[in-house]
């Protein structure tokens, strides 16, 4: 019987599209706010509609990664997942990642024009734990009229194992969400 775990392992072993990229030596650094950072994360004026438009103009997708100082899963994601050359290359080449602090106070302008602190923004999007990654559509049109999670095309709540972590990014990049929930889409990839 084929399990989900073995299916994911088979996908990785068979060479998923985008995995043949040249290895990159990525290293996470710990910022003054206690969050791990990659040097390729989005440097932002914290205007979500502008960040999304900029990512789309570059042919990339926009995602928000929520972290928290002292979060062991955040540390693992940065030291294991995002230092794997296959994962790091795919995510870096196909996504603009805005890293926000789950309890932070920086003012962020949401898609509806409201300015909220990071913590309040996370509450509006029902971010309950870290890491959580929110994936957004390619265009901001219509997002102001929708609230919270209704703006997302997908969400990674918590830390998946590396093969599934990469598969979630592929799911968004390939617009798998248009046809199936993530787990159903993943089963069809084998």
Q: Is the pLDDT of residue 70 over 90?
A: yes
The whole model's pTM is what? 0.85
Mean pLDDT (whole number) for 53-74: 97
Assign domain 27-188 to a CATH class.
alpha beta
Q: Is the pLDDT of residue 68 over 90?
A: yes
Contact present, 64 and 122 (Cβ < 8 Å): no
Q: How far apart are CA 29 and CA 129, in angstroms?
A: 21
| 64 band by pLDDT with thresholds 50, 70 and 90 | very high
Convert the pLDDT of each residue in 165-184 to its tens digit: 999 999 999 999 999 999 99
Domain boundaries, the chain: 27-188
Convert the pLDDT of each residue in 41-57 to its tens digit: 999 999 999 999 999 99
């Amino acid at each position: 019987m084929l399990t989900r775990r073995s299916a994911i392992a088979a996908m990785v072993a068979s060479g998923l599209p985008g995995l043949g990229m040249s290895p990159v030596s990525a290293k996470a650094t710990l910022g003054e706010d206690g969050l791990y950072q990659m040097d390729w994360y989005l440097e932002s004026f914290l205007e979500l509609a502008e960040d999304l438009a900029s990512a789309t103009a570059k042919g990339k997708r926009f995602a928000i990664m929520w972290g928290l100082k002292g979060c062991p899963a955040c540390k693992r994601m940065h030291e294991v997942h995002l230092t794997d050359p296959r994962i790091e290359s795919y995510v870096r080449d196909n996504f603009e990642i805005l890293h926000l602090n789950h309890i932070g106070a920086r003012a962020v302008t949401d898609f509806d024009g409201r300015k909220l602190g990071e913590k309040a923004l996370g509450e509006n999007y029902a971010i309950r734990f870290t890491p959580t990654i929110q994936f957004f559509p390619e265009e901001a049109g219509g997002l102001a009229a929708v609230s919270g999670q209704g703006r997302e095309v997908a969400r990674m709540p918590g830390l998946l194992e590396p093969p599934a972590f990469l598969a979630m990014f592929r799911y968004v990049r390939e617009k798998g969400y248009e046809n199936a929930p993530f787990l159903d889409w993943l089963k069809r990839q084998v």
